Amino acid sequence: MDHFFAVVLFPNSELLRVLGNLKLSLPFSGNLLDMSCRYIPSLIRNAPRLKTRGIEILRDPRTNKGSSYTLHERQLLGIHGLLPPNPQNQDVEEQRVISNLYQLDDNLSRYMMLMSLQDLNEKLFYRTIRTHLEYCLPLIYTPTVGLACLNFGFVFRRPRGIYITIQDRGHIFTLLKNWPADTIKTVVMTDGERILGFGDMGANGMAIPLSKAVLYTALGGLQPYHCLPVMLDVGTNNEKLLEDEFYVGLRRKRATGEEYISFMDEVVESLSAHYGPNVCLHFADFKNSNAFQLLERYRSNYITFNDDIQGSAVVIVSGLMTASRVTQKKISQNSYLFYGGGGASIGIARLLVQAIMEEGFSEDEAKSRIFIMDSKGLIVTSRELSSAKSEFARSDYPQIDSLLEAIRLIRPSVLIGASGQSGAFTRDILRELSTIHKTPIIFVLSNQSNLGECTSQMAYKATEWRCIFVSGSSSEPVRTPDDRLLKPSQGNNCYVFPSLVNALSLAVIRPLTYKLLLTTAKVNYIITCCFFLSNLVFFVKKKSNKLLCILNLL
């Protein structure tokens, strides 16, 4: 198990030829073009068959094609007269959707319209997203999904996915039988305790698995009925939600300790027993301590993945590799300062250690280039720390509380913000960074633009337009005084997890090691370099609807 294979699963012969004929030193073997068709049958097997005629076909989002049925199809299926008489092709229907989206006033309304379309016509829903990915991705995923979580109870219309509560202990396996699809390849689940930058959202966090499930199909090629969104409702400590008359979840305090772990054990065992040992368990937006504990607890016996820890690590390390093309520095020649000590920072730091070690350094030498600050300051050995944070505790530096002071002392070439603290990167901090390095690298990873440590405009202006800027949410281009247009890149785990998780299930990879994650980052970096433009760290979104279907298979 020493090689990774890249398998491209989308009908784009031109791009397949480009990738298949690459004369690069790739971290995998095999011909991409030949391998691209190897797993396609598994994606179309067990496709739903029409079992009904008449009006029920139009009521089922999996079979409904809207007004695009031909006269012959209408007569054959018993729906003649149930639709307007003029058949319209899907191009027209797609344009109607986009035109209506542009007419709406805010992104939450656009999100609701797209989700309503999903409930009505899945084919048109996914076609619209893939064709207009640059416009639709921020509407169905971050940052708009954060608004959907905040307003989930108020805008709730039609249930999707499964809700498993702490009160269902003892019969979770039986509960799973209520789900109509038997062939599930990926389960994406959350307990709603750490939703984006909003904290404990309880059952309102179900919007996260629902959005990620959409990306599995739109970007990863997984059939919609092969992905199961799951809300694990163990209560909430959010008093505002408990008092909200529209709140859809259990009105109780959040379960913790042994009660929580025993519940999770039953959930995982039931999912594996019902859907088979090769089902992939995707954990999303769990509290940091629970996220690390659950990943470690189940990683050896089940196919597991956490996009906050592992997915973000792959995307950001891949972005750092690409940024090195601009700065002309190796990964090992940079020093890294993380502002925020959560799961994303720890996951990225762990993968960075692997990347630096591959350049010939020891683990201790690699860790010496990495510094992490949390809400209490620089992580040092004199502090009481969790096991995850203690991996990067420094004994050679004093306790530093000020970020500006830390930058002056550490002199990092890469500053990564993962704190969700708006405005933490002040003008003085950014200017200090630019005086130390000609081309500083600044990553602001919050998925909510209003929670980012700084904006792209602030970063570019304070560094005299010299920095490489990456944000977790989409940012508008910035025009310089000399009329250059700087396009901020977006570093989001959606660039990786739809394809990577599909690969884990197909290749039955357990456990997912950091060595394999690093290889995935390298593959993502190589694909990005094929379409490298200006100072973009990640490939442009116009091509991402093709590139994001890359599966990294062991």
Alpha-carbon distances, residue 542 vs 168, 193, 261, 500 (angstroms) = 44, 34, 43, 21
The annotation status of 308 as a binding-site residue, yes or no, is: yes
pLDDT score at 507: 85
Interacting residues of 136 by C-beta distance below 8 A, sequence separation 6+:
114, 128, 129
The response to whether 492 counts as a known ligand-binding position is yes
Interatomic CA distance for residues 329 and 52, integer angstroms = 62
Any idea which residues carry the catalytic annotation? 141, 212
Over residues 43-70, the pLDDT tens digits come to 344 444 566 789 999 999 999 999 999 9
Spatial CA neighbour of 112 closest among 143, 80, 152, 66: 152
Pick the closest to residue 164 from 151, 155, 156, 173 (CA basis).
173
Can you list the domains of the chain with their CATH numbers? Answer: 1-38+308-495+513-554 (3.40.50.720), 55-140 (1.20.1370.30), 158-307+496-512 (3.40.50.10380)
Task: Tell me the sheet residues that pair with 442.
Answer: 415, 469
Measured in Å, how far apart are the chain's first and last C-alpha atoms?
7
Instruction: Assign 447 a pLDDT band (cuts: 50, 70, 90).
Output: confident
**C-alpha span between 183 and 303 (Å, rounded):** 16
Is residue 536 over pLDDT 70? no
Q: Average pLDDT of 116-128?
A: 96
| DSSP code of residue 50 | P
Give the CA count within 13 Å in the CB-facing half-sphere of 453: 24
- Tokens 């925020």, residue? 340
Report the C-alpha gap between 147 and 213 in whole angstroms: 18
Q: Is the pLDDT of residue 538 over 80?
A: no
- If pLDDT is split at 50, 70 and 90, which confidence band does 491 have? confident
What angle separates helix 257-275 from helix 288-298, to the nearest 10 degrees?
Answer: 50
Between helices 514-530 and 13-20, what is the axis angle to 10°? 110
Establish whether the linkage from the previous residue to 41 is cis, with ω within 30° of 0: no
The region of weakest confidence among 294-298, 317-321, 549-553 is 549-553
Chain centre distance of CA 284: 9
Q: Alpha-carbon distance 452 to 197, whole Å? A: 10
